[in-house]
Amino acid sequence: MIEPRDGAGGGDLTVSVGGTTVVATDVVLAQAAILRYTHIQAGEWKSRVASIRALDSDGPRNRASQETDLPLHWAEAALGHLEQRSGDLVVSLMDAAERYGRTERAAMQLALLGSAKVGYDLGLFRNLVLLLAAGPAAKAALAWQSWAGGSTRRPQALDPRLLTNPSVVLLTKLTVSSLDEVVAGGYGMPFPVALALGNSGLGLTGASGTALGVLALGRSGGRFREGPVRVAAVGAPIPARPPAGVGDLAANIPKAVEGQPQVRIERYGTPGHWSWAVYVGGTVDWDSVAMTEPWDLTANVSAMARQNSGSYEAVMQAMDAAGITSGDPVVLAGHSQGGLIATQVAASGAFDVRAVVTLGAPESPMPVPPGVATLTVEHTDDIVTASGGASLIDSDDRVTVRREAFVSAPLPEGEVLPAHHLDTYRETARLIDASPETTLQGFRDTVTGALGSAPGEAFLWRGIRLPERPVPQ
| Maximum mean pLDDT: which of 10-19, 102-111, 389-398, 436-445 | 436-445
- % the chain with pLDDT above 70: 64
Q: Where are the beta strands (DSSP E) in 241-300?
A: 263-270, 273-280
pLDDT at residue 143, rounded to an integer: 42
Mean pLDDT of 397-402: 89
Residues 148, 297 contacting (CB under 8 angstroms): yes
Sheet holding 398-403, edge to edge: 22-25, 14-17, 398-403, 373-379, 352-359, 329-335, 273-280, 263-270, 456-465, 229-240
**Measured between alpha carbons, how far is residue 449 from residues 177, 258, 266, 355, 400 in Å?**
37, 34, 15, 10, 21
Rounded Cα gap, residues 25 and 382, in angstroms = 19
- DSSP assignment of 95-156, as one string? HHHHHHHHHHHHHHHHHHHHHHHHHHHHHHTHHHHHHHHHHHHHHHHHHHHHHHTS--SPPT
Q: Across the chain, what does the average pLDDT equal? A: 77
Mean pLDDT of 427-456: 93
pLDDT at residue 142, rounded to an integer: 40
Helix (H, G, I), strand (E, B) or coil at 285: strand
Residues 13, 440 contacting (CB under 8 angstroms): no
Give the model confidence (pLDDT) of 223-280 as tens digits.
Answer: 898 989 999 999 999 999 999 999 999 999 999 999 999 999 999 999 999 999 999 9
Q: Which residues of 424-446 are buried (b: 16+ CB within 10 A; e: fewer)?
A: bbbbbbbbbbebebebbeebbeb
Rounded Cα gap, residues 72 and 211, in angstroms = 71
Give the model confidence (pLDDT) of 149-176 as tens digits.
Answer: 333 333 444 677 788 888 888 777 767 7
